[in-house]
Structure 1
Amino acid sequence: MSDIDPILFPNDDRAQAEAAIAAMDAATVRHEAEHAGTRVVWRSAGQGSPLVLLHGGHGSWRHWIRNLGALALRHTVWVPDMPSFGESGTLTSPADLNHLVATTAATLDQLVGAETPIDLAGFSFGGLCAAHLAARRGHVARLALLGAAGHGTPRRQKAAMVNWRLASGEAALVEDLRHNLRALMLHDERSIDALAVAVHRQACEATRFRSKALSQSSPTKGILDGFSMPILFAWGEHDVTAHPDRVGPWWVDGRPERQWRVVPDAGHWVQFEQAEATNRMLLEFFGRG
């Protein structure tokens, strides 16, 4: 069965989306590592200092599909399907953040070395995971959090999500996924293209971790208080998961090594909707020092 419904998208768009995913998959090297009985699938690309990218909830490594090529020009980029996501194995508990982070960190260390300095970026729920991973592992030179979860402050979301699992038929399923992308992830209707739906569908269907309650909790500031490395906080201008002008200054907290940015004309999935601007921002940030 096709990942994109032919009624809703022209054949050329569907073919282009499938080709883009296949091409990026082929451009990466697939690795498997195991910790405490859970297998984690990582992918790497490029050459240079290691840069680790963590995906969001109901996500996979493909959350970074429009960023890997640019970032790999200067870094060896490492992207996992975190445990209980994508192709990776399933944790014994569907909502154990400590187990997820420990397994992600341990398998990363098997691949790059436990004391190897890394740069680290996390998107959405992956931002919360990145903060926990940096606190647990150490050896993080720079940290970037995009639309990061775990701030516990009011959100701007107006449209309710729908349960796509209850859809009757292929066309209804894809339309539900489009609705959820519109409600939470992407601002401009034109951004909800065949590639966005394909990435989102694959990730949703493979997710076995319950991240929502963790994402809406408020532990991130307390973790950040223990860090001294440079940190970048960034949100899309229309990110419905936060008020950037509230969370940004709060997390920067007057620290000169920290900064917060807003990317114009983007929703929550900022690195997809405004990929070029996000790539420039991340390359500049991780290229310093």
Structure 2
Amino acid sequence: MPIHMITMPKWGLSMQQGQVNGWLKAIGDKVGKGDEVLDVESDKIASGVECAFDGTLRRQVAQEGDTLPVGALLGVVADVETPDAEIDQAVEAFQRDYVPPSDDATDVGPQPEKAQIGGRTLRYLKLGEGGTPAVLIHGFGGDLNNWLFNHADLAAHRAVWALDLPGHGESGKAVETGDVDELAASVIALLDDRGIERAHLIGHSMGALVAMAVAEKTPGRVASLSLIAGAGLGEEINRDYIDGFVAGSSRNTLRPHLAKLFADPTLVTRQLIEDIVKYKRLEGVNESLQKIASSAFDGNTQRRLYRDRLARLAPRTLVIWGAQDQIIPASHAQGLQGDIRVQVIDGKGHMVQMEAASEVNRLLNDFLGA
């Protein structure tokens, strides 16, 4: 069996290094593909590093508390019969040849762009080339960074676009009514402006509702729908979370609400909270979020539902949910009519595309066709 190296992953375009929070597997433990072997924290989020190989954990090169650059050696997986001397030689060779990524600003790859599209400023990021493009649509209060664990992996097979919806991220903050039709119109405007005739739409939470509205308005342009913890598939919504997010303006007021997004609240890092605080303090943000929330929700009830017509919206539809979702119940994935592919992932919450990124990416790539 070959000697396999576990290295510091790169989650998102901006990640340069990560801190080791602790090992989840001990030396001598058997590991398999998809097993989380250690926890790492970036400047955006903490997450488990998955093993890509079957074998036995033979070395823990990185120790708890170490901060290491992307690509640095974390551990070694090999067969139990592989001599220690061979593993030592492999580690020595890796460390000798390893070159940390450049921190040169010219070596950061594609970056988000802004343009006047549909009469407003929209920020977007394109990765990948070819194939039928995919468009990533974030949820309420999010932005295109909600896809930082997914964008590049999906873009290995096709062009993938992510955008900040109006009122979110670095797109224009002003909205008129803030209803789903206005948000859907901004996605359609992006398709028109970038010459995207037909696309796979991948939406998270409110972004799934927006994706379904786009499919309803322009059915011939939607190749498929992938709905992750999607709004619009059932009545219930955690309005306490929505109101808490809208009203919060400090670390202390936002932290308990952001913790509801994950099955494991320790994944909410200080930097993630700081990023949300900065966004919430921008002029026009709260007014826009209040309009969007008032339009989408009546108390704890979602105003617009596509559940009974979901199968008619697109040629193919995939629904993914985290079983421990505290914002929109995973039960909304049950009993969907028609040929809908459904996957509920145990132990994960509302931000399942971050908590179970590798599994979600596998599901999406399999569904879209690599």
Shorter-chain TM-score tier: 0.7 to 0.9
- Name the aligned partner's letter for residue 135 of structure 1: E
- Please say which of residues 83-92 and 200-209 is displaced more in the overlay: 200-209
Q: Using the alignment, how far apart are the partners of 2:191 and 2:277 within structure 1?
A: 26
Structure 1: runs of 5+ lacking an equivalent? 1-10, 168-172
Task: Return the structure number with greater strand share.
Answer: 2
Find the counterpart in structure 2 of residue 111 from structure 1: 194
In the TM superposition, residue 33 of structure 1 has moved relative to its aligned partner by: 3.8
3-state secondary structure, aligned to 2:304: coil
Q: Using the alignment, how far apart are the partners of 2:239 and 2:167 within structure 1?
A: 26
Please tell me whether residue 174 in structure 1 is matched to residue 256 in structure 2: no
In the TM superposition, residue 78 of structure 1 has moved relative to its aligned partner by: 0.2
Please tell me whether residue 284 in structure 1 is matched to residue 366 in structure 2: yes
Aligned positions of 1:39-50 closer than 5 A? 39-49=121-131, 50=133
Find the counterpart in structure 2 of residue 240 from structure 1: 326
Determine if contact 1:135/1:223 at 8 Å carries over to the other structure.
no
Structure 2: runs of 5+ lacking an equivalent? 1-17, 21-40, 45-68, 71-102
- Name the aligned partner's letter for residue 189 of structure 1: P
Please tell me whether residue 149 in structure 1 is matched to residue 235 in structure 2: no
- Please say which of residues 99-108 and 207-216 is displaced more in the overlay: 207-216
- Name the aligned partner's letter for residue 188 of structure 1: D
Please tell me whether residue 249 in structure 1 is matched to residue 334 in structure 2: yes
Change (3 A) 1:194 1:92: closer
- Name the aligned partner's letter for residue 60 of structure 1: D
Structure showing greater Rg: 2
3-state secondary structure, aligned to 2:257: helix
Find the counterpart in structure 2 of residue 89 from structure 1: 172
Aligned positions of 1:180-199 closer than 5 A? 180-183=257-260, 185-194=261-270, 196-199=272-275
Sequence identity (%): 25
Find the counterpart in structure 2 of residue 170 from structure 1: none
In the TM superposition, residue 164 of structure 1 has moved relative to its aligned partner by: 7.5
3-state secondary structure, aligned to 2:149: coil
Q: Using the alignment, how far apart are the partners of 1:150 and 1:142 within structure 2?
A: 17
Runs (4+) of structure 1 moved beyond 6 Å? Answer: 156-161
Determine if contact 2:202/2:227 at 8 Å carries over to the other structure.
yes
Please tell me whether residue 135 in structure 1 is matched to residue 219 in structure 2: no
Task: Return the structure number with greater helix share.
Answer: 1
Find the counterpart in structure 2 of residue 30 from structure 1: 112
Determine if contact 2:235/2:305 at 8 Å carries over to the other structure.
no
Find the counterpart in structure 2 of residue 217 from structure 1: 303
3-state secondary structure, aligned to 2:208: helix
Change (3 A) 1:141 1:198: farther
- TM-score normalized with structure 2 length: 0.62
**Larger RCO: 1 or 2 (CA < 8 Å, sep 6+):** 1
- Name the aligned partner's letter for residue 124 of structure 1: S
In the TM superposition, residue 222 of structure 1 has moved relative to its aligned partner by: 4.8
Q: How many pairs were matched up?
A: 264
Please tell me whether residue 59 in structure 1 is matched to residue 135 in structure 2: no
Please tell me whether residue 120 in structure 1 is matched to residue 146 in structure 2: no
Q: Using the alignment, how far apart are the partners of 1:35 and 1:278 within structure 2?
A: 30
Change (3 A) 1:235 1:196: farther
- Please say which of residues 122-131 and 94-103 is displaced more in the overlay: 94-103
RMSD (Å) for aligned C-alpha atoms: 3.3
Q: Using the alignment, how far apart are the partners of 1:155 and 1:225 within structure 2?
A: 22
Determine if contact 1:28/1:44 at 8 Å carries over to the other structure.
yes
Could you give the per-residue CA deviations for residues 172-219 of structure 1, whole angstroms, max 9, x where no partner exists?
A: x22332211113x11112322245435544554454333334152232
Change (3 A) 1:146 1:163: closer
- Name the aligned partner's letter for residue 144 of structure 1: S
In the TM superposition, residue 77 of structure 1 has moved relative to its aligned partner by: 1.0
